[in-house]
Amino acid sequence: MITNNEKRISEEKVRNEKVYCKLLNSLIHPLGASDTIFGLRPGDLTDYLRTTFSITQEDHELFIKDELKKKPTNLLLNVMISEATIDVPRKNFRIKVPLDSLCAVRLVNATKTKASPKTSPVSSPKSSPKMRRQKAEQDFRGQPQIVKSTSGLKWNEKFELEVTNILTEELHVNVYQQTSSSNLEVFAKQPLEKSLNFKSIFSLSRQNDSGKGLENLGAAIIPLKEILHIGEEKWYDLNISGRRLTKSLKTIGKIFMKLSISVKQDTDNIENYLKATHLLFNRAVKMQTSAANRINNLLSQHSQRILDIYATSHQISKLSQAIIQLTVLLDLTDKKTSVTVTDIALKKAIESVQMTWVTMKPPVGQITEEVANKMPLTDTEISMFRKAATEYIKSMMWNVRNDCVFFPLEDNSFKDLKCKLGVLASVLKLDLWEEKFFIKEELSRLILRKIKTDTSKWAEINLKLIESKIEKDNVVPESENLCELLNKVIGHCTPVGTITCFLKTFGIDYYSHVSLTIDSHISKKAKQLMLEMDKYQKKYYRISANITTSSKVSLRLYITLRKLCNIMKGNFSQREQFLLVIANYQTWFLESLIHWLMTFKVECQSRMSRALEMDKDIVLVTYMLKFSNSSVDVLSCFASIAQEWREIDYNNADVAMMAITKITDLICDSVKFYAEKIHTILRNNRYYDEQVHHFDVNDQLCITLNNIQHVSSYLDCLKHDLEWEKTAAAMSELHDSEEIGEKCLNTLNRLIDNCKEEIAMKSELLVQEVVGRMSRDIRRKMDLLTRKDWKKSSSSDPLKQYLQRNMATLQQCLHESVYSLMVQELWQTSIKIMEQQMMVGQLPDYYQILYRHLRTLRIFFLSHREQLNVHCDVSRHIEERLTLNSETTQELMLQYLSKLCQDLKTPEEDYGQVALKAGYISETHGYVTIYVKVINAKDLPGLDTTGFSDPYVVITLQPRMLFQNLRSQKTKIITRTLNPVFNSSFQFHNVLSELLKKQGAAVQILVYDYDKLKRDDFVGEAVIPLSSIPQLNGNALAFERTPGIILPLKRPSMTEGPLKVLQERSQKDSDAKEFLNERQNLFNNQRKRTDGNKNYNALKFLLEY
């Protein structure tokens, strides 16, 4: 009885013999030209095949006899025409652009020449007529197959032509240029009998006038018997004639084609090829000299040539061959046999599939993307691959479970993992799977479990290692250790493109799963440590060293957690980030935030003090250096604080605004602290010592002055560096009120403005101190200008030389803003000293020369600073004083009287009013007569003991220098009355008419109280400018009709201005002394009224009048 094993062996043998016969048939009946290389000839390959299949010589000969009878029929010529090039076009021929081309393909049976053997040259008599040799006839088989292209000489088209006789048939390929679409339609519609030869095409190609017809570009003729039996793809020559190439013919271009001859496809060809490949691979293992039984490479040259011949003759594409070989290797890997397929062999097989597919892909744009990415394989081929690949994946799961480490993936570990799973990934990448298949999902679940297990194990081990051995207060060292561990975690959680892509092949989002697993361990530990840190800082609140150290550690931990959180968030979509516990890390540091701000302030002031201590001994500084190291260090400290705050990046708007306000206030206080320190340094270095007789500005002083400005300049950067507007907008959004954000910004701006004002005051004070030191030298130089050598134009040179020397140093070394303050202060100080040292009571020429010196100084200062405010209050005051003192005595009198005339304000105390008329009559020779009539007075003050007065009026033309020949005139005395009626008229003859227009010339009305025993008391004064007196119509009667004038009586006091200058000049000028005495008599003879104070009421007087 036959056992199952024997039956299986028998069936296997039958199948092997069937495959053997198929291969043997393709070798002994080559479809085309055979190889002539030794070892690859058909006979050599049949011997190699017999050895491979372990067939005896006797059986082998029997198989050959049988297969010789089975000559293949139903042959096909497979033609793939890609493109053509035209190198040398014919004469009078031009290729049109763009080119519409045609390619016509057909098989032609070329028969032998017809000649009678009876009339051969040997047997025929000499006198017989010579027989002409008839031309060979060509059998055009069927209608040509045509392909058209509108993109030049590129077609990429396949043809299958039925072959009748390999030995006699030829492939004819003609290339045309189409000039009219109608001709092609006519050619395609010709009946079969008319298109049996190329005459019709030739006739069309001759119709090239007016751009019509087809133009023949060239032709190629390939005998089928010359095509290799394994197929060939190469460039073939294009000739002018369609005939065979001779010496007279010319090659004008080339055409690229793939040609092969095959039998019509059988249903079991793929199974036979698969079986043959199995057998040949097994044979390759047996032929190895070593006992390793390892498949490291693909098939040998002989085996591959046998398979190629079979595949070509049975229309098995190169892609199908590569897939079948890969399937065989995967199948051999899975089976529990002594054969071991190495990863090298599998990689080569996969690369072969990929490269073959790349070369077979059609050009972009000819087909859709979906079709272009799909391999042209049969369902049988795909099914065989999936089956073998599935079994291979199952066999690899053990390696995944027991031999692979998925975390952490560093350079070496990833290389090891890629080496172990690289082939598996490549198999999954092949586009031969369904969209979802169970084996990949099972593999993904296995890898995912392995990733979580490896990550958790690594996290637990490393978190155990950070625990400090200190029994008490171990939170600080453990936090430092956690920071170190987090830096490692950041590296492991930062996506690497190669790792992401590799594990994406298995359907694994590696970094999201790693981040989630790490987060569950790290967040728990970090939160626990921060709770302990809060307790620690409360415990050691009064010990600054502990607070500083713990704050630095907690801030470092915060920033490290922030980096890790941002990286982990990047590994998730926006909707999945809520899964991360670490996303709430900011809430763990609320208590620590206050200590960070305190530490910022302490560290900042400490750093400033250290920087200033280093600066105090610096003496040698180059002219180009404008700031010392201390200011640069302080600005660096401020920038570091702002940078650390940006790294903190607190999301809670309320907390963030509180912190920003604190930091802004901290920096403002630090700027003021630095400015105060600078003042202290200058004071300690005796820069404010007034005992020094000579003082010059040096570089060190300039740099010290610059430091304050340099440090305070950072205040303008706070708005940007601390992101005020962003935080204010977050506040407005949080509280749903724009007013909240605006108030926050106003508060911050107010802090900056107050600090700037205080710094400006300190800077001005410092500048004033420096200029005050220089003022001693300025006074000495100014003494020459104002007292000793004031007449010399060069008397200002020593002062300008001193200022030039010091201002040159200031300009080179001082900051622009500080230099501006310094020059302004020097200008004001210089003119103050000039005014202080200016002599009084001098004649006008002294003040005129001094005014020229002032202008010289102004030009000097403007040359150093064009934007200098030379018209400040101090400057205007001295200019006004010099201008006034430069006037003549007469001009000063006129100015004084003009002010009296223009004084229209109501007097504070009522001294009565006087009513009068005034006018003038023109006389001959440019003279006029002035008429004045004093009508009465009202509400005069009582100056006698009785409460009444004895008033009279004195009329004078002022100033007396202009009216020296005209004496004063007065009315009669009216006794015991406060409302006297005078009705007294006066005339002043021979007054120059030009004096009527003189500014300040006036009629003075003085009211006195007569006293018999003492000097008459002054009651009040009124002044009428001469320019306001009307002209009369030539007689005295007109004067009576002139309207009256009511003037209030005033008691002038000693005032500044012209009168003071006249007073100062009175020692050297008699006219000034006389005018001043008159005025002083009025000032000194003002007796208090005895009838009580009365308010001024001009309306009442007008009604009475």
Q: Which two tokens stand for residue 269?
A: 């060809």
pLDDT of residue 649: 86
Q: How far apart are CA 650 and CA 117, in angstroms?
A: 110
pLDDT digits 0-9 by tens, 68-92: 888 888 889 999 998 898 886 555 5
Q: How much of the chain exceeds pLDDT 90, in percent?
A: 26
Q: Give, for 101, the enclosing helix (H) or strand (E).
A: strand 101-110
* Average confidence (pLDDT) over 668-682: 85
Lowest mean per-residue pLDDT among 323-337, 379-393, 455-469: 323-337
At residue 259, φ and ψ (nearest 5 deg) are -125, 140
pLDDT digits 0-9 by tens, 234-245: 999 988 754 554
Q: How far apart are CA 161 and CA 106, in angstroms?
A: 8
Amino acid at 482: L
pLDDT of residue 984: 93
| Secondary structure of 708-760 in HEC code, one letter for each residue | HHHHHHHHHHHHHHCCHHHHHHHHHHHHCCHHHHHHHHHHHHHHHHHHHHHHH
* Average confidence (pLDDT) over 1009-1032: 91
Amino acid at 479: S
pLDDT of residue 289: 45
| Secondary structure of 581-606 in HEC code, one letter for each residue | HHHHHHHHHHHHHHHHHHHHHHHHHH
Pick the CATH number of 774-885 from 3.40.50, 1.10.287, 1.10.3470, 1.20.58: 1.20.58
Band (pLDDT 50/70/90 cuts) for residue 813 is confident
pLDDT of residue 1054: 65
Lowest mean per-residue pLDDT among 113-117, 337-341, 565-569, 848-852: 113-117
Q: How much of the chain exceeds pLDDT 70, in percent?
A: 84
Nearest to 443 by CA among 500, 376, 395: 395
pLDDT digits 0-9 by tens, 958-1015: 999 899 888 999 999 999 999 999 999 999 999 999 999 999 999 999 999 999 888 8
Nearest to 175 by CA among 205, 210, 143: 205
Helix (H, G, I), strand (E, B) or coil at 289: coil
Q: How far apart are CA 43 and CA 233, in angstroms?
A: 25
* Average confidence (pLDDT) over 647-660: 89
Q: How far apart are CA 147 and CA 366, in angstroms?
A: 15
Question: Is pLDDT of 809 > 70?
Answer: yes
pLDDT digits 0-9 by tens, 98-152: 568 889 999 998 765 444 444 444 444 555 555 454 444 555 556 788 888 877 7
Question: Is pLDDT of 1022 > 90?
Answer: yes
pLDDT of residue 245: 47
Q: How far apart are CA 679 and CA 708, in angstroms?
A: 10
Question: Is pLDDT of 189 > 50?
Answer: no
CATH no. for 889-1104: 2.60.40.150
pLDDT of residue 91: 54
* Average confidence (pLDDT) over 1017-1033: 91
Question: Is pLDDT of 286 > 70?
Answer: no
pLDDT of residue 623: 44
The answer for residues whose C-beta is within 8 angstroms of residue 889's C-beta and 6 or more apart is 961, 1062, 1065, 1069, 1071, 1072, 1075
Amino acid at 971: T
Lowest mean per-residue pLDDT among 200-204, 471-475, 762-766: 200-204
CA 442 centroid distance within chain? 47
pLDDT of residue 1047: 92
Full DSSP string of 235-263:
EEEEESSSS---TT--EEEEEEEEEEEEE
* Average confidence (pLDDT) over 906-933: 90
Q: Give, for 927, the enclosing helix (H) or strand (E).
A: strand 927-938
Q: How far apart are CA 1019 and CA 629, in angstroms?
A: 76
Q: How far apart are CA 414 and CA 421, in angstroms?
A: 10
Same topology, domains 75-111+136-263 and 889-1104? Answer is yes
pLDDT of residue 447: 93
pLDDT of residue 566: 92
pLDDT of residue 528: 93
The answer for residues whose C-beta is within 8 angstroms of residue 917's C-beta and 6 or more apart is 931, 932, 933, 935, 1039, 1042, 1043, 1044, 1045
Q: How far apart are CA 1003 and CA 267, in angstroms?
A: 144
* Average confidence (pLDDT) over 153-161: 88
* Average confidence (pLDDT) over 586-599: 88
Task: Name the residue ranges covered by the structural domains of the chain.
Answer: 1-73, 75-111+136-263, 269-433, 447-592, 632-764, 774-885, 889-1104
For all residues of the chain together, what is the average pLDDT?
A: 82
* Average confidence (pLDDT) over 568-583: 91
Q: Give, for 1030, the enclosing helix (H) or strand (E).
A: none
Question: Is pLDDT of 2 > 90?
Answer: no
* Average confidence (pLDDT) over 660-672: 91
pLDDT of residue 617: 44
pLDDT digits 0-9 by tens, 723-764: 999 999 999 998 998 999 999 999 999 999 999 999 888 888
DSSP type of residue 979: S
Question: Is pLDDT of 1094 > 70?
Answer: no
CATH no. for 75-111+136-263: 2.60.40.150
Question: So what's the architecture of 632-764 in CATH?
Answer: Orthogonal Bundle (1.10)
User: Which range, 52-56, 230-234, 487-491, 904-908, has the best average confidence (pLDDT)?
Assistant: 487-491
pLDDT of residue 48: 86
Amino acid at 297: N
Q: How far apart are CA 106 and CA 86, in angstroms?
A: 21
CB 480 within 8 A of CB 529: no
ω before 42 within 30° of 0 (cis)? no
Nearest to 758 by CA among 712, 797, 723: 712
Helix (H, G, I), strand (E, B) or coil at 813: helix
CB 641 within 8 A of CB 669: no
Q: How far apart are CA 119 and CA 124, in angstroms?
A: 5
Band (pLDDT 50/70/90 cuts) for residue 646 is confident
Q: Would you report the helix, strand and coil content of the chain in percent, each value rounded to 5?
A: 55, 15, 30
CB 632 within 8 A of CB 714: no
pTM score of the predicted model: 0.62
- 16, 27, 311, 352 from 271: Cα distances, Å: 12, 18, 12, 20
Burial degree of 295 (CB within 10 A; 0-12, 13-18, 19+) = buried
Lowest mean per-residue pLDDT among 183-197, 384-398, 720-734, 904-918: 183-197
pLDDT digits 0-9 by tens, 518-574: 999 999 999 999 999 999 989 988 888 888 899 999 999 999 999 999 999 999 998
pLDDT digits 0-9 by tens, 681-692: 777 766 655 554
DSSP type of residue 1050: B
